[in-house]
Structure 1
Amino acid sequence: MCGLVGIYSFKRNILDRKEYIKKCLLTMKHRGPDSHAIWHNNANYISGFVRLSIRDISNHGNQPMLSNCGNFCLSFNGEIYNSEKYKALLIREGVQFASSSDTEVLLYALKSWGIQFVLEHFDGMFAFAFYDLQKNELLLARDRLGIKPLYIGFDKNESIIFSSQYDHIINYASIQQEAFDPSSIGTYLQLGYIPDNAGAINKTILFPHGHYAVINSAGYTITQYYSSVKSVLSQQVLSEALIQKAAIEQLVSDVEVGVFLSGGVDSSLLAYLVNNKQPISAFTVGTNDAYSDETNDATGFAKRIQMNHQVAKVTEQDFIETLEDNTEAYSEPFADFSSIPSLVISKFAAAHVKVILSGDGPDELSYGYYRNIKLLHAGKYFFDNNLAKVAKLISGRFTSKYPFLDSRILTQKDFYTYYYQYLFLFGSSWVPAIFKPACAEAYFLQNIRNNSMQDVTQQNYMHTVRDIELNLHLQRVLLKLDRASMFHSIEARVPYLSNNIVDAAMAAGIQQHINGHEGKYFFKELLAQKTDHDYAYKQKKGFLVPMAAWLRNQIKADVYDKVLNMPADLDSMFNRNQLIKLLDKHTKDGKDFSGIIWSLYALVNWYNKHYNKQILRS
């Protein structure tokens, strides 16, 4: 787990950019505090790297890493969990390794077998830049589901800059004068982040997950190599053994590994399966709020499986003191305020371990949200004619026959748009009133619409639901996890998103995922076998912060000041009268619009902290 940055120029020598690369390394030292280095070809390519040493913590694992012949250079952020299998094959082919790192395996695999083989067979989380000196060709790639970040900027001097942090892109000399992309800001207000293949600033993007780019003197191409929509049915079967194998593989490390334990289904099952094979420490953060606190559940579970368990109780003041860190940690606009407790627990765990396992993934893979169950029962009605829809809506208003229906089935152009809106922030209905420009539709929503079937077959429309969850909602979850953990120099791994588990979950029938009104059924049943039914099927709580109250009290004055006095290039996009109305409705009338208000506040804070970052512009 590390950070990378680099520049490829089509026409000019970029050695004068070395000072900028140095500044970038300084500003992402938290991603890699153990070492840093820069490599260039004395011409048109330069790459910098900061390292968080996890596997082969000696200098042999440092990056950018050169091949023995000196013709290939790799900068790689992430982990390859099945690297030992391919290392053995490379040794048979005559490769001599200088380290025990997965980076070196990836380097020689790309050199020997090429990008297509690597992306098809390697299981891991990654963003990497692989440069071929003889071809003057750069390959950029991001993992299948977007666990690791990669941002791209296209500058007017015909160069491409890439980085693990968005602030490095937008403060680059020839990009910093680019205007905002209003449609992407609109998408941010809806989703709480700016999704793949878009950016807050023109000529910048979050490089899309499941894609790779080839960049050379002829230009560049971006190719999608993985699609959940088109994924081939796997021969793997979703099973305890499969999950445990993936979890154990992700324990590979030369430093201590821990696990987040929330007390919920996913983290508890993960902790059980790992601890059953290898003792591991679990970390839980709790509050004094009885509704959201799960420390008692987590503690009881840890005792039951005889697991070393570290618990920290935090106060509301602890959370508020994290607000400044929250702005610093997210160098792109980000509006999911569950990032605040994510930062708190990452800081707590980082005092004990350098790698953490996280239980993210099953909710999106296995229909774990209430909205998924709602669509299972109501999705078919979207495909009725309008007269039948109206009749069912009227009937549902006076009876309990159609409890899951809502009026949006009459207004949305297709099922994809209909479900997409389920992912919007709470209070996003205000966006048309407060925001003047049109909002862009997310790239992966278009991708799914163009590559899947829309019909009344439950199997098909539920696949669409899961594709949207994986490619849009999960991205916000993973972005939050990466930035929060890396801000405290801790590597977060997500075993449930290993290739084999994802493939098996995609191949499994709906009945294996949903039973009646219970989603994520396979995972709950498996946990119930290890604990008991009540623990596995208890109501999901989540780790919440009282943001609605904070916006009315502790940070009210600052929110009003920043939202109503935005910088000019943001202010021009908004309707000030409606902003005042929105704030007053929340703070004075007792309404809860915390989601959309926080997104506005976070946007201005991001602008002030990252858009004009003086250490990068000086």
Structure 2
Amino acid sequence: MCGLVGIFDTRGTRSFDRGQILRMNDRIAHRGPDDFGTHLEPGLALGHRRLAIIDLSPAGHQPMENDAGDLVIVFNGEIFNFMEVRAELEALGHRFRTHSDTEVILHGWTEWGEKCLDRFRGMFAIVLWDRKQEVLFLARDRLGIKPLYYAQMADGRIAFASELKSLLEIPDLPRDLDPMAVEDYFAYGYIPDPKSILKSVRKLAPGHLMLQRRGASHATSRPYWDVTYKADPRLNSHEAVKEALIPLLQDAIRLRLVSDVPLGAFLSGGVDSGAVVAMMAGMMSDPVNTYAIGFEHRDYDERRYAQEVADRYHTRHTTRVVNPDDFDLVDHLAALYDEPFADSSAMPTYRVCGLAREHVTVALSGDGGDELFAGYRRHRWHSYEQGVRDRLPLWLRRPVFGTLGKLYPKLDWAPKVLRAKTTFESISYTAAEAYFNSVSVLPNRTRPKLFSSAFRSSLQGYNALSVLRGVMDNAPVEHELSRVQYADLKTYLPGDILTKVDRASMAHGLEARVPLLDHKFVEFTATIPPELLLDGRQGKMAFKKSLEPYLSHETLYRDKMGFAVPLESWFRGPLKDKIRQAVQSPVLADSGFFDQRYLTRLVDEHQSGRSNHSASLWAILMFQSSLKHLRVG
């Protein structure tokens, strides 16, 4: 697990300053505290920070060249099946000088070119220079576990890095904010790939590669992997699913136990982390090291559920109580994530990563289970509402339920049964509009009020809905539930969940591995019939039924809690002055993006108790903090 940076000259062989590469590299020192290296040649400069996990010897040093001296690579991540691929390459005549997975990528490129990606199981961002072919190869893993930013400069340079902060060390990098990315952020709470907050910088999308030949004017990325949702008729019962699922899950976890450093797991007490720990316990001779954080407030605390799993599998369990008023992290998060990032669960995630790093260097997580098995409440609601939409034509739904949605008051304070406004609106929408409404931090009815008229004009009609609509309209699925799962897999999972875990873990020099996102396991889950995933108020039924021999009934079937943060009370209590100062700050006012009166109104309504605008206010606070760290206005 590491970090990488570099600059490539697409037009020629100009020289690059080693000092600049070192500065870019130093900005991500937290990603690789064990070693660093640079490589400079005419037209190319590479930098690398290493967190040593496999092959701790100096032979694993990067940037790494092949024996012939015509290839050089910087690589962030792990190829978990590298020994299998290495054996295949050795049978073809390749000889290795190290025991690292990095060298396997070099030989894989020599043998198969870009098709080497088809053989790799893992998480990775790869930048490889082929001097003989004069081609720069960039690739990102299938699900987007590892990040890769790049900027194509007007003078023919391509700069790339694991984190945006490294690219900010390039003095002439344009710093103009991308208005469409701002619109996306206030809709989703993160900036979906391939955009970044800056016009000049993009993210290589998950499952994509890029080839840039020297002398070519421009490079474009293209996908090398996708997942198709098509039910397998053989998986016609929960028992049939279990018989196929458990061996695949065990295989994915077994691959991720390869490590030359101490290893453990996050244990929240939920289904996904519990499943990972249960399988680990059956494979390891020593007790599993598990880590959980808790809160003094019982409504936010899952320690008792984590302890039950820990006791069942006799893990070496460590917990720590975190103050629910842990708002000292607010400003630090903006620096950590570079781009605006509005998932407040980044705070407890950061804390549990810090706890784990006190004992281990690698931790397995259960991320991805909700996307793969339809575990979010919005999946159930979407399926229910889609059933209504399917029975009524859009020409009837749009005026009838749209009018009801407009007329019905927004009753944040009322019992759920009386909060019908959102339901009426959703039934009046298309499937993409409805799902967008359910995932939005600020939905379409309120988001435009946030912005100034000048900013709305700059969008030229662009709406963040187009991101989700583009994914859902082209989803390779047979069922509407699969459509929203696919949408989450392509947007929310890499943009929010995996970004959150990558930055929080790497800030502590901790490698987080995500076995549920092994691509072979993902491809299998896409063949489970959707009717086996939902059962009334229960999601993830196929997964839960498969795990009944391994986890208790309460662990499997209790209501999902998640990493909650008490934002609503924060903005009426200890952070009430901070949020008011944020919305009135010159940073936001000078941007020209916002209707300052509306920002103040949100604070007034929230602090008076008339409405709960906590999610919107958090998004605004994190945007303001990010602008300060990005040094743009």
TM-score (norm 1): 0.91
Aligned counterpart, 1:460: 479
Deviation readout 1:387-420 (Å, 9 max, x if unpaired): 65367899999xx9x99982334654x4223212
The total of aligned residue pairs comes to 601
Counterpart-to-counterpart distance in 2, 1:566 and 1:430:
23
Query: 1:68 Cα shift?
Result: 0.6
Q: Are the equivalent residues in 1 in contact too, given 2:228–2:526 (CA < 8 A)?
A: no
Q: Are the equivalent residues in 2 in contact too, given 1:386–1:410 (CA < 8 A)?
A: no
Q: Quick one: which of 240, 245, 251 aligns to 2:246? A: 240
Residue 363 in structure 1 maps to residue 362 in structure 2: no
Q: Secondary structure at the match of 1:408?
A: helix
Residue 163 in structure 1 maps to residue 161 in structure 2: yes
Q: Are the equivalent residues in 2 in contact too, given 1:335–1:599 (CA < 8 A)?
A: yes
Q: Are the equivalent residues in 2 in contact too, given 1:426–1:594 (CA < 8 A)?
A: no
Q: Are the equivalent residues in 2 in contact too, given 1:234–1:503 (CA < 8 A)?
A: no
Query: 1:148 Cα shift?
Result: 0.4
Counterpart-to-counterpart distance in 1, 2:352 and 2:332:
13
In structure 1, give the amino acid aligned to 2:387: K
CA-atom RMSD in angstroms: 2.7
- The 3 A distance-change label for structure 1 pair 568 and 267 is closer
Counterpart-to-counterpart distance in 1, 2:55 and 2:370:
34
Counterpart-to-counterpart distance in 1, 2:250 and 2:557:
21
- The 3 A distance-change label for structure 1 pair 421 and 19 is farther
Deviation readout 1:194-233 (Å, 9 max, x if unpaired): 1101121112112211110010122313111122358897
Aligned counterpart, 1:616: none
Query: 1:424 Cα shift?
Result: 1.3
Q: Secondary structure at the match of 1:114?
A: helix
Answer with 586-595 or 489-498: which moved more.
586-595
Q: Quick one: which of 191, 195, 200 aligns to 2:197? A: 200
Query: 1:106 Cα shift?
Result: 1.3
The percent identity for this pair of structures is: 29
Query: 1:440 Cα shift?
Result: 4.5
- The answer for unaligned runs of 5 or more in structure 1 is 614-618
TM-score (norm 2): 0.89
Residue 295 in structure 1 maps to residue 303 in structure 2: yes
Q: Quick one: which of 577, 582, 593 aligns to 1:573? A: 593
In structure 2, give the amino acid aligned to 1:140: L
Residue 434 in structure 1 maps to residue 450 in structure 2: yes
In structure 2, give the amino acid aligned to 1:380: G
Q: Secondary structure at the match of 2:17?
A: helix
- The answer for unaligned runs of 5 or more in structure 2 is 236-240, 409-416
Q: Are the equivalent residues in 2 in contact too, given 1:140–1:213 (CA < 8 A)?
A: yes
Aligned counterpart, 1:310: 318
Q: Secondary structure at the match of 2:491?
A: helix
Matches within 5 A, 1:535-614: 535-567=555-587, 571-611=591-631
Q: Secondary structure at the match of 2:142?
A: coil
Query: 1:323 Cα shift?
Result: 2.6
Matches within 5 A, 1:136-151: 136-151=134-149
Counterpart-to-counterpart distance in 1, 2:549 and 2:527:
23
- The 3 A distance-change label for structure 1 pair 450 and 514 is closer
In structure 2, give the amino acid aligned to 1:406: T
Q: Quick one: which of 498, 515, 519 aligns to 1:499? A: 519
- The 3 A distance-change label for structure 1 pair 426 and 535 is farther
Matches within 5 A, 1:5-20: 5-20=5-20
Counterpart-to-counterpart distance in 2, 1:534 and 1:344:
26
Counterpart-to-counterpart distance in 2, 1:121 and 1:106:
10
Q: Are the equivalent residues in 2 in contact too, given 1:3–1:164 (CA < 8 A)?
A: yes
Q: Are the equivalent residues in 2 in contact too, given 1:123–1:498 (CA < 8 A)?
A: yes
Q: Secondary structure at the match of 1:125?
A: strand
Q: Are the equivalent residues in 2 in contact too, given 1:64–1:73 (CA < 8 A)?
A: yes
Counterpart-to-counterpart distance in 1, 2:228 and 2:586:
40
Query: 1:98 Cα shift?
Result: 1.6
Matches within 5 A, 1:515-526: 515-526=535-546
- The 3 A distance-change label for structure 1 pair 89 and 585 is same
Answer with 266-275 or 200-209: which moved more.
200-209
Q: Are the equivalent residues in 1 in contact too, given 2:402–2:425 (CA < 8 A)?
A: no
In structure 2, give the amino acid aligned to 1:185: V
Q: Secondary structure at the match of 1:529?
A: coil
Matches within 5 A, 1:76-475: 76-116=75-115, 118-176=116-174, 178-216=175-213, 217-218=215-216, 219-229=218-228, 238-278=244-284, 279-317=287-325, 319-383=326-390, 384-386=392-394, 388-389=396-397, 406-409=423-426, 412=429, 414-425=430-441, 430-436=446-452, 437=456, 438=459, 440-441=463-464, 445=468, 447-452=470-475, 459-475=478-494
Q: Are the equivalent residues in 1 in contact too, given 2:23–2:169 (CA < 8 A)?
A: no
Query: 1:376 Cα shift?
Result: 1.8
Query: 1:605 Cα shift?
Result: 1.0
Counterpart-to-counterpart distance in 2, 1:342 and 1:228:
28
Q: Are the equivalent residues in 2 in contact too, given 1:586–1:592 (CA < 8 A)?
A: yes
